[in-house]
Chain A
C-alpha cells in the first residue's frame, strides 16, 4: 500500500506571499499525482494532475512539480480565495494524503 504524507499539517501565510506545500509517497508513483483544493462545505476541486499539469480553469499562480516520491504544490501569490485545505492523491491506488490546511497569517 502506498502511503501519502503531506507537510506541514497547517501552513500560515500572508496574502500576496508564496505558499509551498509538500507531499511524499512511500514508494514511487511516477507522475501519477494530483492536487485538490477543498473549501468548507464544498466538494474538492481538481487543481493539478500528472504532477504538474493545471486542470481546466485553474489560475497560473498554482503550479505543481516533482516525480517519483517527492511532490510540491506552489501558490505564487496568495489570494484570499486560496485559503483552504489541500490534498494530494496518487492514482496508482488512489490514496489521498491527510491534507494541509492553508490559513491566513
Chain B
C-alpha cells in the first residue's frame, strides 16, 4: 500500500531555513510526480509545489516562489522541500502527496502523508 511519511518539521525563527523530507513506499516513486500542500492552523488547504516524476519541471505557488525549492531523489524514494527565508505566515502542517497519474505534468493528489508541522516564530 502507498505510504508517505514526512519529517523535518519543527520550530524555526523568522528568516531561517528548514528542509522537509517525504519517504515514499508502496508504489513506483520514479513514475509519479509529487506535490507539497500546506495547511495553516485552522485554515484551508494551500498547494505549495509540484515536481514531475523525473524532476524535469517544478512549479510553485506565488507565495513561496523564490524561497522554497522542491526536489527529489528517485534512488532513495524521497521527496524534499527546502524552505528558506521563512516567515510567520509559513507556519502550517506540510503534507506531501502523490500525483494521481503516471508521467503527468501534474494532476490531482491521490495519496497524502500525515503531515509535519512547521512553526515559524521568534
The CA-CA distance from A49 to B110 in the complex, in Å, is 9
CB-defined contacts of B100 to chain A, threshold 8 Å: 46, 49
CB-defined contacts of A95 to chain B, threshold 8 Å: 47
The CA-CA distance from A7 to B111 in the complex, in Å, is 25
Bin the interface of chain B by size.
20 to 34
Residues of B participating in the A interface, judged by any CB pair closer than 8 Å: 35, 37, 44-47, 50, 59, 62, 95, 100, 106-115
CB-defined contacts of A43 to chain B, threshold 8 Å: 95, 112-115
When each residue 63-103 of chain A gets 1 if its CB lies under 8 Å from chain B and 0 otherwise, what string results?
Answer: 00000000000000000000000010101011111110000
Can you give 25 A-B contacts (C-beta < 8 A)?
Answer: A1-B62, A36-B109, A43-B95, A43-B112, A43-B113, A43-B114, A44-B37, A44-B45, A44-B109, A44-B112, A45-B112, A46-B108, A49-B100, A49-B110, A55-B110, A87-B45, A89-B45, A89-B109, A91-B106, A91-B108, A93-B59, A94-B106, A96-B47, A97-B44, A99-B45
The answer, among A49, A56, A89, A99, for a CB contact under 8 Å with B47, is A89
